[in-house]
Amino acid sequence: DAGVIQSPRHEVTEMGQEVTLRCKPISGHDYLFWYRQTMMRGLELLIYFNNNVPIDDSGMPEDRFSAKMPNASFSTLKIQPSEPRDSAVYFCASSFSGTGHNQPQHFGDGTRLSIL
Amino acid sequence: GNSVTQMEGPVTLSEEAFLTINCTYTATGYPSLFWYVQYPGEGLQLLLKATKADDKGSNKGFEATYRKETTSFHLEKGSVQVSDSAVYFCALSSGGSYIPTFGRGTSLIVHP
């Protein structure tokens, strides 16, 4: 089975540009999560969706960040305008609620974002 | 609220040494406990899990036992390999929430 697919794997862009990160979750999973990972702050949950509906975006650092999930097989995380401090690895993960909270998350390989 | 505390890294070992990475937790109710591993340049992947007290999760030679009395889920391996070099995350889910709480991660470096 295909895992969580993220694109692009690497993105280098200049400050002020719009950045769009993409994620395809595992088919059948009803939860989707966006994380950011940095050396300083570790792994941070930015936002998560349940059945394509955003449930909690309290981790989104600023209004420059937005996320959408137009259907069960696709989600985007957008940064506009981008700043150097947004440089990090961004992960998408999905999970299935199944029989309870014993279901693990499945992570993509991440997008390494560098803002110059 | 829920929290997970892991030992600070990096942990540096020689090949074939015994590994322990400590993890303790605070949670409401009866959490499920997980260990994830992150290899360089990759995302986190599930290593093992345990869903009730005294359960032992195991995979690839790694083991962890769910200890409710000490609220711990320590990761162990009897003989580490260079290929085990990675970052290890302890995590929990509880209280009907599907949102896991992760520890800060512990880096393991294994030398030949």
Chain A residues touching B41 at Cβ < 8 A: 109
Tell me the nearest-neighbour CA distance from A15 into chain B, angstroms. 24
The CA distance from B97 to B108, in Å, is 30
CB of B8 closer than 8 Å to CB of B22: no
Q: Helix (H, G, I), strand (E, B), or coil: what is residue A102?
A: coil
Chain B residue closest in CA terms to A96? B98
Q: What is the pLDDT of residues B3-55, one digit of tens each?
A: 999 988 899 999 999 999 999 999 988 899 999 999 999 999 999 999 999 99
Q: What is the pLDDT of residues A42-101, one digit of tens each?
A: 999 999 999 999 999 999 988 999 999 999 999 999 999 999 999 999 999 999 987 666
What does the block give as tokens for A65? Answer: 């960040």
CB of B37 closer than 8 Å to CB of B88: yes
Q: Which among B41, B43, B105 is the nearest to A91, CB-wise?
A: B43
Q: Which among B36, B97, B102 is the nearest to A101, CB-wise?
A: B97
Chain B residue closest in CA terms to A48? B99
Closest by CA position to B18, among listed B75, B57, B72:
B75
Please determine, for residue B97, whether its predicted confidence score (pLDDT) is greater than 80. Answer: no
Please determine, for residue A1, whether its predicted confidence score (pLDDT) is greater than 90. Answer: no
Residue B5, Cβ density class (10 Å: 0-12 exposed, 13-18 middle, ≥19 buried) = middle
Contact A43 B32 (CB under 8 A): no
